[in-house]
Amino acid sequence: MKQLISRIVIIGAGQAGAWAAHTLRQQGFDGTLSVVSDEERVFYERPPLSKQVLAGDMAPAALQLFSDEAIDAMHIDWHKPARATAIDPRDHVVTLDNGTELAYDKLLLATGSRARVPVREWLSLPQVYTVRTPEDAARLGERLAPGKRLAILGGGWIGLEVAATARAKGVAVSLFELGERLCARSVRPEVSDYLRDLHREQGVEVELDCGAIELAAGDGGGLVLYRDGQRLLEADAVVVGAGAEIATELGRDAGLEVAQGLVVDDHGRTSDPDIYAAGDVAIHPRLGFCIQSWANAQNQAISAAKAMLGETSPYRDEPWIWSDQYDCNIQILGTPAGHDSRLVRRQVGDKQLAFIYLDQDDRLQSMIAVNDARLVKLGKRWLRAGTVLPADQLADPAVNPMALKP
């Protein structure tokens, strides 16, 4: 027998929370839909923050995922800005920091993640920035004038995007990465090398294996970077791009099973049958780790929202992430390649390049494509169909990959 559901609460109004709310109403849920958000601005997407918004080419209002009218039509019982501070899974109640208590039949945790700042004291330095909200991007954008110097601590995707945007604004950029290579968690060494060369060609000073950096106020209003007591440089601004902290605390305190993120099945269900999770805060059910991407947040949330209403729409998407740097659109499809995979390099002209990884049976395992969205689209079909791919033809720029259709 189907459970009667009249009250759904969503905590978090980012990409995942927004798509869950939209899907619930689209699927005909007409009960009370409460959304709790600690940000005043809701239902907006973050990818343009380190790109167009930081560059000054996009207004924050354009980030909103749905029109004002569409959001009004969702008839949401808003609680914002307000923070959910506790969940009582036995009595099905969420408590907010303003004392409000919200009863639920089903609850979705879409609390996402936040920028990780490894040294807490850095947060009190006005020249230190993270990029997570439109306000962050606007504040940093104001500092990035031609001739200024920016230091970036961390060579992950956000650090690299900020570097590219800053260079386009005529800012001198020095990037420091603790590890031996860039984006080491998501790509193999040959792609890290490609990224390093791309940024060096654009004038970014990239220092790998950089050791511990310390920050102190400089004479010119900026921050001086030190290593082992040695002065390295003075920067007008320092961006910390040291990865994200997954916001699992609410779920953990409520006794839910937690790994890197909240553990969910392929319907977004946590270890409590009435609590779901989606987006950055949840693991990918098959892979067991958090994907932290726009598409994952959207599609996992859609699947979880349907499951809350008793529909089965299992979430099994392959990870897909993109990044824009200079004139390169970089797309990553699939899981980071294993050491037993075989690399096929496909270069078409000067602008298109793909690193294609095949498993031992010549089936696609993952791909990183630069300026080749069509190949990635095809790659999604190859992955779904388990297509066996001829490596020599894939590598040949004269062969149209469409001819290798699944």
What are the residues binding ligand FAD (CB under 6 A)? 11-17, 36-39, 46-47, 49-50, 83-84, 110-113, 131-132, 158, 247, 250, 279-280, 292-295, 297, 321-323
Which one, of 136, 305, 372, lies nearest residue 237 by Cα?
136
192 or 331, CB closer to ligand FAD? 331
DSSP reduced 3-state for 158: helix
Residue 94, C-beta contacts closer than 8 angstroms, at least 6 positions apart: 9, 11, 36, 84, 86, 87, 88, 101, 102, 104, 107
294 or 358, CB closer to ligand FAD? 294
Give 3-state DSSP helix, strand, coil % of the chain, rounded to 5: 30, 30, 45
Which one, of 8, 99, 100, 11, lies nearest residue 310 by Cα?
8
- Using CA atoms, how far apart are residues 16 and 146, in angstroms rounded to an integer? 36
Instruction: Tell the smallest beta-carbon distance from residue 24 to ligand FAD (Å).
Output: 15
How many CB atoms sit inside 10 A of residue 351's CB? 11
175 or 344, CB closer to ligand FAD? 175
Instruction: Tell the smallest beta-carbon distance from residue 14 to ligand FAD (Å).
Output: 2
20 or 210, CB closer to ligand FAD? 20
Instruction: Tell the smallest beta-carbon distance from residue 137 to ligand FAD (Å).
Output: 7
Instruction: Tell the smallest beta-carbon distance from residue 196 to ligand FAD (Å).
Output: 19
Cβ-contact 108, 8 below 8 angstroms = yes
- Using CA atoms, how far apart are residues 327 and 51, in angstroms rounded to an integer? 12
244 or 353, CB closer to ligand FAD? 244
Instruction: Tell the smallest beta-carbon distance from residue 252 to ligand FAD (Å).
Output: 12
11 or 304, CB closer to ligand FAD? 11
162 or 353, CB closer to ligand FAD? 162
Instruction: Tell the smallest beta-carbon distance from residue 46 to ligand FAD (Å).
Output: 4
Which one, of 324, 334, 281, lies nearest residue 50 by Cα?
324
Instruction: Tell the smallest beta-carbon distance from residue 41 to ligand FAD (Å).
Output: 8
127 or 165, CB closer to ligand FAD? 165
Ordered alpha helix ranges (H), 174-248 = 189-201
- Using CA atoms, how far apart are residues 149 and 170, in angstroms rounded to an integer? 9
How many alpha carbons lie under 13 Å from residue 107 in its C-beta half-sphere? 28
- Using CA atoms, how far apart are residues 183 and 192, in angstroms rounded to an integer? 6
294 or 315, CB closer to ligand FAD? 294
Instruction: Tell the smallest beta-carbon distance from residue 369 to ligand FAD (Å).
Output: 14
Question: Does a cis peptide bond (omega within 30 degrees of 0) precede residue 81?
Answer: yes
Beta-sheet strands, E only, within 19-148:
32-36, 76-79, 84-88, 93-96, 101-103, 106-109, 113-115, 128-129
Instruction: Tell the smallest beta-carbon distance from residue 159 to ligand FAD (Å).
Output: 10
